[in-house]
Amino acid sequence: MEFFEQALAIRKQMGVPGEGQSQAGIGEIYYNQNQYVKALKFYTQALAIFKEIGLKAAEGTTLTKHWVNLT
């Protein structure tokens, strides 16, 4: 978790690609820890980023792998 959080902070600060992947990674960790409310928060943020930049494959993965299970 710590590494995803560090990566997310760096990506936000520097404006480099990959913020959505970091958000999804943190969501994955929370999901695996059965912390579904926290997971949903990060998946929602990742999904918004993927939609904004047009990453359909990542958007689809986020939706099918986890989103459906959490709502």
**pLDDT tens readout for residues 37-55:** 999 899 999 999 888 888 8
Count the neighbouring beta carbons within 10 Å of the beta carbon of residue 50: 23
Structural domain contains residue 57: yes
- Interatomic CA distance for residues 24 and 26, integer angstroms: 5
- Interatomic CA distance for residues 33 and 49, integer angstroms: 24
pLDDT of residue 41: 92
Structural domain contains residue 13: no
**Which range marks the domain in which residue 28 is found?**
2-7+19-70
Q: Which residues of the chain have pLDDT under 70?
A: 15-16, 67-71
User: How is residue 22 written in tokens?
Assistant: 């970091």
Which amino acid does the sequence have at 19? E
Report the Cα–Cα distance between both ends of the chain, in Å, rounded: 23
Count of domains forming the chain: 1
Instruction: Note the pTM of the prediction, 2 decimals.
Output: 0.77
Structural domain contains residue 46: yes
pLDDT of residue 68: 64
Structural domain contains residue 38: yes
